[in-house]
Amino acid sequence: MAQFIQAVMDHFEWGQYVLFSVVLGILALTEHFWPRRTAGKGHKGRIRVNLLLYGLAGLLMWWVAEPVQTAAVRLGASLEWSGLAGSALPGVPKIVIGVLLVDAIQYLLHRASHAIPLLWRMHQVHHADTAFDVTTSVRHHPLEVVALAALTLMLCAALGMPLVSLLFYAVLQLVHTAFCHANVEIPLHWDRRLRRVMVTPDMHRVHHSERMDEGNSNFAMVFPWWDHLMGTYCAQPALGHEDMVLGLAHDNDARPDGFLRALSQPFGKLP
Ligand SMILES: [Zn+2]
C-alpha cells in the first residue's frame, strides 16, 4: 500500500493530466449520447477558451508548484504542532477525517470566492460560461488555480493534514469535478440517491444559474453535506434545468467569449 501511494505521489504531476483526459473523453462521449440539456449550447468558441485556460493554468502550476509547496511546508513547521497527522487516531479514521476536512476547506474557499471581491474577480471567469458541460470544469482563470492551490495547501499544512488524505482527495476531486459539470442525463431517482453522498451535475448546475439566489447556493465540491449544514442547499432551479439561464446576468450579452477576454476579465470593472 505504502509503495502504491508513493508511486501515485511520484507520478501525480503528469499522471493527473492523463487521468483527467481519459475521464474528460468518456464524459464527453456520454454527453453526446445522453445530454441533460438540449437547449442553449452556449457561445461559439467557449470550448476552445475553456481548454486553453486549462492548458495555461497547467503551465503556470508546473512553474509555481515547488515554491508554493515549500511555503506550505514551512508554514506547517513554524506552527510547531503536528495537527491531525500527529494525532493518536488510528490510520483509516485519520485519513477519512482528513479527506472530509479538505472538502470542508474547499466549500469554505468556494464561498469565499463568491463573497470576497478579489477572489470573485478571478472566480467569475468560471461562471461566465454560458453553457455547462465537462469543459466548464476546467474553465478557471490561471491565477485562481494558483491562488486556491496555495490557500488549500497552507490551510492543510496548518491543520497537519495527512499527506495520504491530500493525495486521495486530489484524485477524487479530479474525477468528480469533471463529473459534476457534465451535461449528462441521470434519471431523477438515481440523482436523488446519488446526491445524498456526492454533488451531482443537477445539483451543481443550480450553482451556475445567472439568478443570484441560485448562484449563491450549492457551493459544495465533492460531498453535499456542507450545503445542508450551512443552509446553502438549493434542490432545483426555479425555471427547471432545461429553461434555466446559465452564466453571469451582467455579462451574458457581452460576447464573443474570447480567450483574451477571459484572461483580462478579473482586471475589469465589477458591476
Ligand atoms: Zn462558484
Q: Where are the domains of the chain?
A: 2-267
Average pLDDT over residues 170-176: 93
Average pLDDT over residues 97-117: 96
Gap from CA of 67 to ligand 1 centroid (Å): 27
Gap from CA of 232 to ligand 1 centroid (Å): 12
Gap from CA of 28 to ligand 1 centroid (Å): 22
Give the pLDDT score at 175: 94
Gap from CA of 177 to ligand 1 centroid (Å): 12
Gap from CA of 137 to ligand 1 centroid (Å): 11
Give the pLDDT score at 12: 74
- Rounded Cα distance between 76 and 128, Å, is 36
Gap from CA of 112 to ligand 1 centroid (Å): 9
pLDDT exceeds cutoff 70 at 256: no
What residues have CB less than 8 Å from 211, skipping those under 6 apart? 237, 238, 244, 245, 249
More confident position, 135 or 39: 135
* Residue 181 φ then ψ, to 5°: -100, -5
- Rounded Cα distance between 37 and 245, Å, is 11
Gap from CA of 39 to ligand 1 centroid (Å): 22
What residues have CB less than 8 Å from 186, skipping those under 6 apart? 36, 194, 200, 201, 202
Buried b (16+ CB within 10 A) or exposed e, 82-116: ebbbeeeeeeeebbebbbbbbbbbbbebbbbbbee
Q: 2 falls in which pLDDT band (50, 70, 90)?
A: low
pLDDT exceeds cutoff 80 at 135: yes
As given in the structure block, the three cell numbers for residue 91 are 490510520
Average pLDDT over residues 91-106: 93
What rounded mean pLDDT belongs to the chain?
A: 89
Provide the 3-class DSSP secondary structure of residue 51: helix
Gap from CA of 110 to ligand 1 centroid (Å): 6
The pTM score is: 0.90
Enclosing H/E stretch for 207: helix 201-207
Provide the 3-class DSSP secondary structure of residue 68: helix
pLDDT exceeds cutoff 80 at 33: yes
Gap from CA of 136 to ligand 1 centroid (Å): 11
Gap from CA of 42 to ligand 1 centroid (Å): 18
Gap from CA of 1 to ligand 1 centroid (Å): 36
- The pLDDT tens digits for 57-72 are 999 988 888 888 888 7
As given in the structure block, the three cell numbers for residue 207 are 450553482
pLDDT exceeds cutoff 70 at 154: yes
- Rounded Cα distance between 113 and 23, Å, is 26
Give the pLDDT score at 1: 64
Query: Which segment of 25-34, 85-94, 157-166 scores lowest on mean pLDDT?
Result: 85-94
Gap from CA of 90 to ligand 1 centroid (Å): 35
- The pLDDT tens digits for 195-241 are 999 999 999 999 999 999 999 999 999 999 999 999 999 999 999 99
pLDDT exceeds cutoff 70 at 86: yes
Cα 235 to chain centroid distance, Å, stands at: 19
What is the DSSP code (8-state) at residue 39? S
More confident position, 8 or 46: 46
Gap from CA of 127 to ligand 1 centroid (Å): 7
Give the pLDDT score at 155: 92
Gap from CA of 220 to ligand 1 centroid (Å): 9
What residues have CB less than 8 Å from 224, skipping those under 6 apart? 195, 196, 197, 198, 199, 203, 218, 233
As given in the structure block, the three cell numbers for residue 213 are 439566489
Provide the 3-class DSSP secondary structure of residue 161: coil
